[in-house]
Structure 1
Amino acid sequence: MSVEQPLWRALTAYRVLTLLYALTLYAYGYDDYDHPLGAGAYMAVLTVWTALTVRMVSSAERCTLRFLAGDLTVAVVGILLTPLVDTHDRIAEGTPTLPSIWTAGAVLGFAIKGGWRWAAWASTVVCAANIIERGGFAQDAVHMLMLVWVASVAIGYVVEVARASERTLARALRIEAATRERERLARDIHDSVLQVLAMVQRRGAAIGGEAAELGQMAGEQEIALRTLISTGPATGPMAGPATAAAESVEPAGTVLLKVAADTPAAEMASEGERSDLLALLAPHAGSHVTLSGPGTAVPLPAEAAAELAAAVGAALDNVRVHAGEDAHAWILVEDEPDAVTVTVRDDGPGIPEGRLADAEREGRLGVALSIRGRLRDLGGSAEWISAPGQGTEVELSVPRQGETGR
């Protein structure tokens, strides 16, 4: 909903309430008018106009400039008609004009629709009409008119600031959405394409010959692709098509889920919109990976379970790449009341201090996106504990966010 929509609703209520107030003043001073029937005719027109135009002030789209001009005309005519139907003594005493404070509604319509400049113009017209009606610059009239002028201009300025803030917020949300989509694509690419290119480069170099040339080309493409996905959010004109194209890419963790689905345990893991995290992690267990966890299922929302399992897969990929094929890894799943924590520990050489930050700057996004990015999107956290020669421990935690019925 637009930030200014409540102002239009308030203006609608204001016009109705001030009409009732003007009618009450007319009825109370009926016997004091020189021409009460003439005043009554204007009040009837004002009532019909207000009733017929209620929907016109319900939104910015319906409130057109033509309507605002007509609304202001009705108010000004009522002000200028007052000396013709009321006594000179009552006017000199400061008796309200026929439309009374209903006139401010016409001015506020200009303020909400066009900002402070429109409000200043409409207020000036109303002030001029009131000065003509009073026949001069009466002190009480000037005070009231200045109040209307200042208030309408202030409201118009506030509306302009609100609109600018709304545009800024919308742009920030678009940038955030584009950034998240880019990170999601980067995670998918890291978990699939980049891993394959890296493997081709290593195997090609080991085989030699033409395979080495193919491996070198794969390495060059890997570097180019890493640079592409780490250059920042796409916020320009191409962001729309890129986002649309992203919808056709398989979500992060899909490959892991497909592998897990080949096992009988995983076939029974998903119930409705919840999945058993242990069943999704089971395919990783083997001679070099030990999986430990509770004796019962660890249910999580399907999307959260898939993302957490994919993050564990990325951590194990790092173990194989940096600690070697013979390194041993241990996966520990802890099912706590308020969170699910998965710890991945290895007996590799550890991570030198500052290496993770350097890798992110170099475009190696396994930690930045495939692990930390996934956990951030789930509202969780990822922590690394490592020392040279003492292995590495990665702690991944996902909050349950008030889940019940476990």
Structure 2
Amino acid sequence: MEIEGPFWRAIAVFRIASLAYAAVLMLQHEGYAHPVTGWLVIGVMALWTAAATFAYSIPALRGWPLLVIDMLVTVGCLLSTPLVQDGAQHVVGTMPVPATWVAAPVLAWAVYGGRRVGAVAAAIVAATDLWLRWRVGADVLLNGAVLLFLAGVVVGHVARLAKQAEERVQRAVEMEAAQRERERLARGIHDSVLQVLALVQRRGLEIGGEAAELGRLAGQQEAALRELVAVRPQPSGSTDLRALLMRYGTAQVTVSTPATPLVLPTAVAEETAAAVQAALDNVREHVGEGARAWVFAEEEEDAVIVSVRDEGDGIPEGRLEAAEHDGRLGVAQSIRGRIADLGGRVSILSTPGEGTEVEITVPR
């Protein structure tokens, strides 16, 4: 159900009630100098009330052409007031012929465009009314203008909040549906494909030779499938860091992440994952293509920490400084530079003969 629908129906009811009020005023008020002209204006208002009620009930017709016509008809009816009243009637405060009916386009503009657009519509109608009063020398009363502005701003704000709430609910429904489908696929894949791939990986490593390479490839595909079916969809503009880290899982690289999502802004998550990739590239380059490595991710109250560990011989003292001096900026730029730009920090702990640990900390 469209959430704007009740707003447009409420405006239609307001138009009809305001039209009836204007007709009652015309019947009861004997001071109108030209009642026949007044009833002609009431007739135009009635015809437009019927047309506008029908037009606004069709979502495809709700747009600026209809809104502009609505405003022009309303302003035209308001400008006809001097033709119905004489100057003395306007001076003593006789209600204009359209009465409260002039607020209808203000409400329509507010529902369509929000509080700012509603304020613009209120300014148009209020300026027309004040100009008519000034033209005949009547007292310039701001009560009506203030009420129009309040109606335009408040209704526009509420309508915009309702639209945003509808969009959030729709996204939540889509995410829930996607997660249910993901869970259904996960059950089927876990019972068949993942178990077969895990068996191929284990047996290939046991047999060795070319079978070991097949096992390694099976392990990569197993990790990719687990990532596909296990990661929950995230709100727009955010990414679960676990999804990016799981891509690096292979027979040689073990990725361990929490059970709950590590949600970061998409740009931050991608740069963090790129820094982890750079650290793993260093492991393959300096320790060996088949070197074992471990990626651990954890969450603190205000930060996410990712550690990359290897089983190499460690980094000799002064090696990083010398590499940076020689222009080899793998660690300095690909890891430290990226994380520094995110407001995070990198610490490298290396003990000769015991491997290296790169700890990356990024703020939430």
Contact kept, 8 Å, 1:179 with 1:234, in 2: the verdict is no
CA shift at 1:202, angstroms?
4.5
- Residue 63 of structure 1 corresponds to 62
Contact kept, 8 Å, 1:23 with 1:43, in 2: the verdict is yes
CA change 1:147–1:208 in 2 (3 A) is closer
CA change 1:232–1:39 in 2 (3 A) is closer
- Residue 78 of structure 1 corresponds to 77
CA shift at 1:47, angstroms?
1.5
CA shift at 1:24, angstroms?
1.3
Amino acid at match of 2:97: L
CA shift at 1:99, angstroms?
0.6
Amino acid at match of 1:138: D
Moved more, 7-16 or 183-192: 183-192
CA shift at 1:162, angstroms?
2.1
- Residue 41 of structure 2 corresponds to 42
1:243-281 Cα offsets, whole Å, 9 max, x none, are xxxxxxxxxxxxxxxxxxxxxxxxxxxxxxxxxxxxxxx
Amino acid at match of 1:86: Q
- Residue 188 of structure 2 corresponds to 188
CA change 1:234–1:160 in 2 (3 A) is closer
CA shift at 1:170, angstroms?
2.3
- Residue 312 of structure 1 corresponds to none
Amino acid at match of 1:148: L
- Residue 138 of structure 1 corresponds to 139
Amino acid at match of 2:18: T
Contact kept, 8 Å, 2:93 with 2:138, in 1: the verdict is no
Alignment of 1:110 onto 2:109:
yes
1:94-114 Cα offsets, whole Å, 9 max, x none, are 221101111111211111112
Alignment of 1:20 onto 2:29:
no
User: Which ranges of structure 2 fall in alignment gaps of 5 or more residues?
Assistant: 237-255, 263-293, 296-364
SS in 2 for 1:101: helix
SS in 1 for 2:27: helix
CA shift at 1:67, angstroms?
2.3
CA shift at 1:65, angstroms?
1.9
Contact kept, 8 Å, 1:8 with 1:59, in 2: the verdict is no
Contact kept, 8 Å, 2:77 with 2:98, in 1: the verdict is yes
CA shift at 1:144, angstroms?
2.1
1:187-214 Cα offsets, whole Å, 9 max, x none, are 2211110112223344556677776665
Contact kept, 8 Å, 1:26 with 1:98, in 2: the verdict is yes
Q: Distance in 1 between matches of 2:34 and 2:89?
A: 13
Alignment of 1:124 onto 2:115:
no
Amino acid at match of 2:23: L
Q: Distance in 2 between matches of 1:123 and 1:235?
A: 37
Structure 2-normalised TM-score? Answer: 0.58
- Residue 280 of structure 1 corresponds to none
Equivalence map 1:5-404=2 (5 Å): 5-29=5-29, 31-135=30-134, 138=139, 141-203=141-203, 214-215=214-215, 217-233=217-233
Q: Distance in 2 between matches of 1:118 and 1:213?
A: 65
- Residue 256 of structure 1 corresponds to none
Matched length: 243
Q: Distance in 2 between matches of 1:217 and 1:114?
A: 55
Contact kept, 8 Å, 2:52 with 2:70, in 1: the verdict is no
- Root-mean-square deviation (Å): 3.3
Percent identical among aligned pairs is 40
CA shift at 1:26, angstroms?
0.8
Amino acid at match of 2:80: L
- Residue 301 of structure 1 corresponds to none
User: Which ranges of structure 1 fall in alignment gaps of 5 or more residues?
Assistant: 237-354, 364-406
- Residue 3 of structure 1 corresponds to 3
Contact kept, 8 Å, 1:78 with 1:99, in 2: the verdict is yes
Amino acid at match of 1:192: S
